[in-house]
């Protein structure tokens, strides 16, 4: 009987919902639409989640100027805010529908978008707080089918993307992106206030699954790292929120390792928490003992979080120090296991050290020492014999490592462990002190992080030590054959002249590449950066990239985005030159970042000037790899300036092919001159440069025809330059096959009003036809049809524009 009554009740509710939807769709005036609000107010308390979503979307579709253009803002908020949202029995569903409506604003234009943003500002905090209270179900429902908390959290995290997509549309491309950034900032501020207010409640009063999924989803979203850092920093200062923090990670730990999407978001949130926490005690407060007992969580904490790069500017403990302290406080036995794991990983790394990057080798060696220092005397005594059997046999392999920096880092780490564990008769090593990486590793080992925070004197000592190491690197000019290739001359003989021109002194240069990155892009709320430090960081980055300082490969993506978005805030005269040089070196040393560069080019928030800068940087990096630092191409010197060369005590002058005295055939000086031939380094990485460019197959999805014609022409000219550099690449056939197809698509975009596109296609075709042998022979052998089509098109262009509108070289 009860089941029959429930069925009749559900049918009655569905019929009532259909009636209200029909009235909404049929309303042609504001009076008729507002008359439906009385029925809607009565229906809100009994509506199902899916019905609430449908009714909300139906009303929002009616937000057009003819119906609501003359309604005052107060009346508008009174009707919509009170009846449509605040009286809803399903606040999460109402908030979901309001955010999703931002992607459907094309029909209502800017009026509907502005009204939705205004409504969101009024109801966001209240709806979210009501949804997070435990009195509501943890399930929310979409109008077309069932959904869960995970999907609702995803909708919240997608708000910035929806706003930027709206402002990035071609119809609204003229609008300022500062407005979009302001809307997103206001949304995140209200979201943060709502979460902080709910975090002060008891975990039993909260919908913990929804709370946890919102933070996890936002941590993986674009710009979510700063948001999670602000939330954690605020809650760590409030003792009432500690229980909620533990509940958030405990809730995620129970379910997040089962699904790939949840695991990715959960891991991102854990890594952000480790980087944000000031010390290991804070990590213990955030995670709690129940989470730390989970095997999957400990593996992530030990093998990934502990090996994350740490900030050198903030003077906080390294991530490995924080993880080691957290394990020492919560589970000392797990600390021993973690130390043994890192030692074994480092031993395995030494066997294939040539394949590992210098930066990861540096960080891993520090992590081993940090975990060892947290072990107690009894723990060290218990595992000393086991450590000896695993570490001592690897010492000869460390000594035989070809890379000077990697070899000395491993030796110093082993010597530190021998001292900590009181090994009898520990081996002693001889070090090459001019190695800058060894100096940085020694400074990192000697840091007393907690004392550095309390005492400024030790900070000054550390700064003086770093400056002394930099002075030593400047004075050491590779006078010894044992010197490592990364020992660079930071300043030449014109140092005094550069100082007069505004070049910062050596003491203003940062010691680490991460320091430069944080100086050039300070976080919100940081102290203003001095001009000398800002300019010093800009001048130091090229030298650090040349000597491949710590972080040159792992910080590449952040450095690329920072340099591209950098403004000349201090009017540095060589700013444009330095920025172009940094991008050129960065892309040349890490070709995998070229795809990131083209990803930035496709961003709707990237202005046209930055797109041209990135295209030019890609071409310059390709030329640097192909021609070398001195402008050599394929082993032939382009410079024919007079030079003096000493042969067996006699000095002769060489001008072009004219020579003075007869040269002795077996002269050693002549052999040194013959070694100047440069290998084309671009050949093996050419696909990483060319194919990201060729992914532009839909050309009108970013901007209008007037702007895209110049941009596409630049792409075609860049393609010609890249093909010229890749003429002798093993993958030249694949490159040419894709290039012919891409150019044939691009030719259709051009028109008599956009001749630059066709002119650029002509330049790209000429670069292809001008390739040297044997590539030219392969071109004629494998691309007969494409060459025939190219000749026909060029002939057609010459006939259509006989007066030289399109220049072609016969």
Highest mean pLDDT among 67-76, 262-271, 500-509 belongs to 262-271
Q: Does pLDDT of 615 surpass 60?
A: yes
| Beta bridge partner(s), residue 141 | 146
- So what's the pLDDT on residue 662? 41
- So what's the pLDDT on residue 617? 92
Q: What are phi and psi of 141, to 5 degrees?
A: -125, 135
Residues 467/509, Cβ–Cβ less than 8 Å: no
pLDDT in tens, 323-337: 898 888 888 888 888
pLDDT in tens, 56-109: 777 777 777 776 666 666 766 666 776 667 767 778 888 888 888 887 775 446
Q: Which residue has the higher pLDDT, 191 or 223?
A: 191
Q: Which residue has the higher pLDDT, 141 or 506?
A: 506
- So what's the pLDDT on residue 729? 80
Q: Which residue has the higher pLDDT, 93 or 175?
A: 93
Q: Does pLDDT of 756 surpass 70?
A: yes
| Beta bridge partner(s), residue 655 | 658
pLDDT band at 494 (very low <50, low <70, confident <90, very high): very low
Closest of 522, 624, 554, 532 to residue 582, by C-alpha: 624
- So what's the pLDDT on residue 669? 45
pLDDT band at 746 (very low <50, low <70, confident <90, very high): confident
Q: Does pLDDT of 506 surpass 70?
A: no
Q: What's the rounded Cα separation, in Å, for the pair 352 and 364?
A: 14
- So what's the pLDDT on residue 116? 84
Q: Does pLDDT of 620 surpass 50?
A: yes
pLDDT in tens, 13-55: 777 777 777 777 777 776 777 777 777 767 766 677 777 777 7
| Spatial CB neighbours of 594, under 8 Å, sequence gap ≥ 6 | 587, 618, 621, 688, 689, 692
Q: What's the rounded Cα separation, in Å, for the pair 334 and 222?
A: 34
Q: What's the rounded Cα separation, in Å, for the pair 323 and 274?
A: 8
Task: Describe the crossing of helices 2-26 and 30-43 by its angle, rounded to 10 degrees.
Answer: 160
pLDDT band at 319 (very low <50, low <70, confident <90, very high): confident
Q: Which residue has the higher pLDDT, 366 or 398?
A: 366
Q: Does pLDDT of 453 surpass 80?
A: no
pLDDT band at 753 (very low <50, low <70, confident <90, very high): low
The CA-based angle 603-193-101, given to 5 degrees, is 50
Query: Lowest mean pLDDT: which of 283-292, 463-472, 555-564, 731-740?
Result: 463-472
Q: Does pLDDT of 664 surpass 50?
A: no
Q: Which residue has the higher pLDDT, 431 or 110?
A: 431
- Indicate the helix (H) or strand (E) that contains 653: strand 650-654
| Residue percentage of the chain with pLDDT more than 90 | 1
Quick one: three-class SS letters along 609-645? HHHHHHHHHHHHHHHHHHHCCCCCECCECCCCCCEEE
Three-class secondary structure of residue 754 per DSSP? strand
b/e burial code for range 334-343 (CB count within 10 A of at least 16 → b)? bbbebbebbb
Task: Describe the crossing of helices 784-800 and 755-769 by its angle, rounded to 10 degrees.
Answer: 140
Q: Does pLDDT of 5 surpass 80?
A: no
Q: Does pLDDT of 492 surpass 60?
A: no
Residues 715/761, Cβ–Cβ less than 8 Å: no
pLDDT in tens, 380-410: 888 888 888 877 777 787 777 777 888 888 8
Token readout for 448 is 């007393």
Query: Lowest mean pLDDT: which of 3-12, 300-309, 769-778?
Result: 3-12
| Residue percentage of the chain with pLDDT more than 70 | 69
pLDDT in tens, 421-436: 888 777 778 888 788 8
- So what's the pLDDT on residue 270? 85
Handedness of CA 561, 565, 570, 575 (dihedral sign): positive
Q: Does pLDDT of 348 surpass 50?
A: yes
Q: How many CB atoms are closer than 10 A to CB 234?
A: 15
Handedness of CA 418, 419, 422, 426 (dihedral sign): positive
Largest CA distance in the chain: 117
pLDDT band at 480 (very low <50, low <70, confident <90, very high): very low
> What DSSP state is assigned to residue 662?
P
- So what's the pLDDT on residue 145? 35
- So what's the pLDDT on residue 25? 73
Q: What's the rounded Cα separation, in Å, for the pair 441 and 367?
A: 12
- So what's the pLDDT on residue 697? 56
- Assess whether the previous peptide bond of 774 is cis (omega < 30° from 0): yes
Q: Which residue has the higher pLDDT, 466 or 418?
A: 418
- So what's the pLDDT on residue 708? 65
Q: Which residue has the higher pLDDT, 481 or 58?
A: 58
| Spatial CB neighbours of 807, under 8 Å, sequence gap ≥ 6 | 759, 762
Token readout for 449 is 């992080």
Q: Does pLDDT of 473 surpass 70?
A: no
pLDDT band at 176 (very low <50, low <70, confident <90, very high): low
Query: Lowest mean pLDDT: which of 295-309, 655-669, 677-691, 712-726?
Result: 655-669
Q: What's the rounded Cα separation, in Å, for the pair 373 and 380?
A: 9
pLDDT band at 117 (very low <50, low <70, confident <90, very high): confident
Highest mean pLDDT among 108-112, 249-253, 584-588, 678-682 belongs to 584-588
Chain mean position to CA 27:
49
Q: Which residue has the higher pLDDT, 146 or 243?
A: 243
- What average pLDDT does this structure show over 134-157? 58
- So what's the pLDDT on residue 487? 31
- So what's the pLDDT on residue 311? 57
Q: What's the rounded Cα separation, in Å, for the pair 687 and 190?
A: 46
pLDDT band at 7 (very low <50, low <70, confident <90, very high): low
- What average pLDDT does this structure show over 717-738? 85
Q: What's the rounded Cα separation, in Å, for the pair 89 and 137?
A: 10
Mean pLDDT of the chain: 72
Helices (H) and strands (E) in the chain, counts: 39, 4
Alpha helix segments (H runs only) across 354-475: 358-374, 377-391, 395-399, 404-420, 436-446, 449-454, 456-475
- So what's the pLDDT on residue 671? 45
- Indicate the helix (H) or strand (E) that contains 646: strand 643-647
Residues 390/344, Cβ–Cβ less than 8 Å: yes
């Amino acid at each position: 009987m009860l089941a029959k009554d429930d069925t009749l009740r559900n049918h009655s509710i569905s019929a009532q919902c259909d009636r209200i939807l029909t009235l909404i769709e049929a309303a042609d005036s504001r009076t008729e639409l507002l008359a439906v609000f009385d029925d809607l107010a009565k229906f809100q308390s009994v509506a199902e989640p899916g019905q609430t979503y449908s009714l909300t979307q139906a009303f929002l579709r009616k937000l057009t100027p003819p119906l609501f253009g003359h309604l005052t803002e107060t009346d508008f908020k009174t009707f919509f805010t009170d009846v449509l949202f605040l009286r809803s029995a399903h606040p999460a569903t109402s908030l979901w529908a309001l955010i999703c409506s931002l992607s459907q604003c094309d029909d209502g234009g800017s009026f509907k978008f502005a009204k939705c943003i205004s409504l969101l500002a009024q109801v966001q905090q209240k709806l979210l707080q009501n949804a997070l209270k435990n009195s509501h179900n943890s399930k929310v429902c979409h109008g077309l089918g069932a959904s869960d908390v995970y999907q609702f959290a995803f909708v919240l995290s997608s708000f910035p993307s929806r706003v930027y997509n709206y402002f990035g549309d071609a119809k609204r491309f003229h609008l300022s992106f500062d407005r979009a950034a302001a809307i997103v900032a206001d949304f995140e501020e209200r979201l943060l206030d709502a979460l902080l207010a709910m975090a002060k409640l008891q975990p039993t009063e909260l919908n913990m699954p929804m709370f946890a999924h919102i933070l996890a989803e936002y941590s993986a979203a674009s710009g979510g790292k700063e948001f999670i850092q602000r939330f954690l920093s605020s809650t760590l200062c409030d003792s009432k929120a500690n229980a909620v923090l533990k509940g958030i990670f405990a809730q995620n730990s129970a379910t997040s390792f089962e699904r790939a999407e949840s695991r990715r978001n959960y891991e991102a949130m854990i890594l952000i928490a480790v980087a944000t926490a000031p010390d290991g005690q804070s990590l213990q407060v955030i995670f709690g003992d129940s989470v730390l007992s989970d095997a999957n969580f400990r593996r992530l904490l030990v093998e990934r979080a502990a090996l994350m790069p740490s900030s050198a500017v903030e003077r906080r403990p390294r991530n490995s120090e924080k993880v080691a302290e957290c394990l020492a406080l919560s589970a000392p036995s797990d600390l021993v296991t973690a130390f043994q794991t890192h030692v074994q990983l480092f031993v395995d790394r030494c066997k294939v050290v040539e394949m590992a990057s210098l930066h990861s080798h540096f960080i891993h060696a520090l992590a081993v020492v940090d975990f060892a220092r947290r072990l107690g005397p009894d723990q060290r005594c218990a595992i000393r014999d086991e450590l000896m059997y695993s570490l001592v046999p690897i010492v000869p392999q460390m000594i035989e490592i070809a890379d000077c920096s990697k070899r000395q880092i491993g030796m110093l780490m082993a010597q530190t462990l021998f001292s900590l564990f009181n090994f009898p008769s520990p081996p002693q090593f001889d070090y090459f002190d001019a190695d800058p990486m060894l100096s940085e590793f020694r400074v990192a080992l000697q840091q007393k992080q907690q004392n550095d925070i309390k005492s400024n004197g030790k900070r000054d000592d550390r700064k003086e030590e770093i400056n002394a190491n930099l002075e030593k690197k400047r004075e050491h000019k590779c006078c010894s054959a044992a010197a490592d290739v990364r020992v660079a001359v930071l300043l030449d003989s014109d140092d005094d002249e550069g100082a007069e021109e505004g070049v910062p002194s050596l003491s203003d240069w940062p010691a680490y590449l991460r320091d430069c990155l944080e100086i050039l892009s300070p976080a919100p709320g940081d102290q203003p950066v001095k001009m000398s430090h800002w300019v010093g960081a800009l001048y130091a980055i090229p030298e650090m990239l040349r000597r491949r300082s710590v972080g040159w490969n792992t910080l590449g993506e952040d450095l690329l985005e920072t340099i591209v978005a950098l403004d000349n805030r201090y009017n540095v005269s060589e700013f444009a030159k330095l920025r172009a040089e940094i991008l050129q070196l960065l892309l040349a040393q890490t070709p995998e970042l070229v795809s990131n560069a083209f990803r930035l080019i496709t961003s709707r928030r990237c202005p046209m000037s930055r797109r041209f800068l990135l295209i030019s940087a890609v071409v310059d990096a390709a030329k640097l790899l192909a021609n070398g630092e001195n402008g050599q191409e394929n082993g032939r010197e382009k410079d024919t300036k007079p030079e003096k060369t000493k042969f067996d005590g006699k000095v002769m002058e060489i001008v072009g092919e004219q020579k003075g005295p007869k040269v002795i055939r077996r002269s050693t000086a002549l052999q040194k001159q013959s070694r100047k031939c440069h290998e084309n380094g671009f050949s093996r990485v050419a696909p990483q440069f060319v194919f990201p460019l060729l992914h532009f197959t839909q050309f009108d999805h970013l901007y209008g025809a007037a702007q895209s014609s110049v941009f596409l022409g630049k792409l075609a000219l860049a393609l010609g330059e890249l093909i010229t550099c890749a003429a002798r690449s093993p993958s030249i056939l694949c490159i040419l096959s894709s290039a012919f197809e891409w150019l044939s698509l691009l030719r259709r975009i051009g028109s008599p009003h956009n001749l630059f596109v066709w002119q650029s296609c002509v330049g790209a075709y000429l670069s292809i036809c001008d390739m040297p042998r044997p590539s030219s022979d392969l071109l004629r052998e494998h691309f007969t049809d494409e060459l025939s089509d190219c000749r026909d098109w060029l002939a057609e262009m010459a006939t259509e524009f006989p007066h030289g509108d399109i220049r072609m070289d016969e």
